[in-house]
């Protein structure tokens, strides 16, 4: 089988890249190890920056996002028993939409199927060959048969555990990583929203986040030991912890509901500063991971795809290779900005084991400054909606 662009991974990055290339007349094939049902049902958070919202709309896959997503013009920071609002739209002219990642995937899969796009689900034994030549290929098994996809370029969108990044020789890679000593305990619950907007809470007991999925389903998190077990947390204990961390002195309280999902996720920051090797290019989680505090994960993947689409279009339409050659350099500008913002948000909002009272008060002082200084609030808002560093992509 032959195509122009072979894409490994049917997450937001791989699917969106395939669709954008299709709109420009460039052929691609997407290979995914999971089934369609699995990728569409794996529930993951989703806060979409203005640029992500705009690109999905321009690509013709934003209708359901607009109809069902929750458009937010700000969020609240809770600390010391009070809440203060960051006015995203007032400070930047932009907003965000809370729309789960698996819903974005559903929209993109539907668009690729409607366009007769080549999607191969349930592939296994995937391996890359000839990536340092002008005739790379991807070998894999599909429905019991050995297959080979010959292509001009291979785009690795297969996450941190995929084969793409591992196919770049270790001696040529330059990776950066920070593993955080805490995790997030996440719940999904039935009930009305506790707030019209997201609430980020800093408390001496630890961080908490109040989000929403729909008018009747809410998503909440609180900082925990990443080695803890969900079995140690009864529903009553979970609600007691969330109320202790988020409820304010003026009587504002979160709303309890029936919990139907619990999970614990670890947190780390990671950047592969080698995002390309020969005809292989990395995008999304294959190249970088951010802690979810800054809401940057899917948005960074979309930013990578935007850069790659422009570079591949220039190659095929204008016979220009310069944008592809500069892909890593271009993408890393935005990636490091987002990494710093996510690290800063995480450091400011989380309880760090062993932190002295002095260090804890520095966190409070930072929050006071961010929520009372217009310039500091503007910098935070610009990073959150994706304005800061946007020109890098």
Active site residues: 72, 200, 292, 296, 384
Q: Considering Cα of 8, then 11, then 15, then 17, what sign does the dihedral take? A: negative
User: Do 94 and 126 contact (CB within 8 A), yes or no?
Assistant: no
Query: Which string of b and e fits 364-381 if b means at least 16 CB within 10 Å?
Result: eebbeebbeeeeebbebb
Q: Provide the token pair at 126.
A: 């995937």
- DSSP reduced 3-state for 192: coil
Residue 357 makes CB contacts below 8 A (sequence gap 6+) with none
Distance CA 387, CA 380 (A): 10
User: Do 149 and 1 contact (CB within 8 A), yes or no?
Assistant: yes
Distance CA 355, CA 364 (A): 13
Q: Considering Cα of 324, then 138, then 34, then 221, what sign does the dihedral take? A: negative
């Amino acid at each position: 089988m032959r195509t122009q662009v072979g894409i490994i991974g049917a997450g937001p990055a791989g699917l969106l890249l395939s669709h954008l290339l299709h709109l420009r007349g460039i052929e691609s094939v997407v290979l995914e190890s999971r089934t369609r049902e699995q990728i569409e049902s794996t529930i993951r958070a989703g806060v979409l920056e203005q640029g992500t919202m705009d690109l999905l709309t321009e690509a013709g896959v934003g209708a359901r996002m607009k109809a069902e997503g929750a458009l937010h013009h700000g969020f609240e920071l809770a600390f010391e028993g009070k809440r203060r609002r960051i006015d995203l739209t007032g400070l930047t002219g932009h907003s965000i939409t809370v729309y789960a990642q698996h819903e974005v995937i559903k929209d993109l899969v539907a668009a690729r199927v409607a366009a007769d796009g080549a999607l191969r689900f349930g592939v296994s034994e995937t391996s890359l060959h000839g990536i340092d030549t002008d005739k790379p290929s991807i070998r894999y098994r599909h429905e019991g048969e050995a297959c080979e996809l010959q292509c001009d370029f291979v785009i690795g969108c297969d996450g941190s555990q995929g084969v793409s990044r591992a196919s770049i020789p270790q001696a040529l890679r330059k990776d950066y990583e920070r593993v955080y000593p805490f995790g997030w305990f996440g719940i999904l619950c039935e009930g009305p929203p506790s707030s019209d907007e997201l609430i980020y809470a800093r408390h001496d007991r630890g961080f908490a986040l109040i989000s929403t999925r729909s008018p009747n389903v809410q998503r909440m998190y609180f900082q925990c030991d990443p080695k803890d077990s969900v079995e140690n947390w009864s529903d009553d204990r979970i609600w007691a912890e969330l109320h202790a961390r988020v409820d304010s002195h003026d009587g504002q309280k979160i709303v309890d509901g029936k919990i139907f999902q619990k999970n614990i996720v670890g947190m780390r920051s990671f950047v592969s500063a080698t995002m390309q090797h020969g005809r292989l290019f990395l995008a999304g989680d294959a190249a970088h991971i951010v802690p979810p505090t800054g809401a940057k994960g899917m948005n960074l993947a979309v930013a990578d795809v935007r850069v790659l689409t422009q570079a591949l279009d220039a190659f095929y339409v204008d016979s220009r290779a310069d944008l592809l050659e500069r892909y890593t350099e271009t993408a890393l500008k935005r990636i490091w900005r987002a990494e710093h913002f996510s690290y800063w948000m995480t450091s400011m909002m989380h309880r760090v084991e062993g932190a002295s009272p002095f260090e804890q008060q520095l966190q409070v002082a930072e929050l006071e400054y961010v929520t009372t200084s217009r310039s500091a609030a503007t910098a935070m808002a610009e990073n959150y909606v994706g304005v800061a560093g946007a020109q890098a992509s």
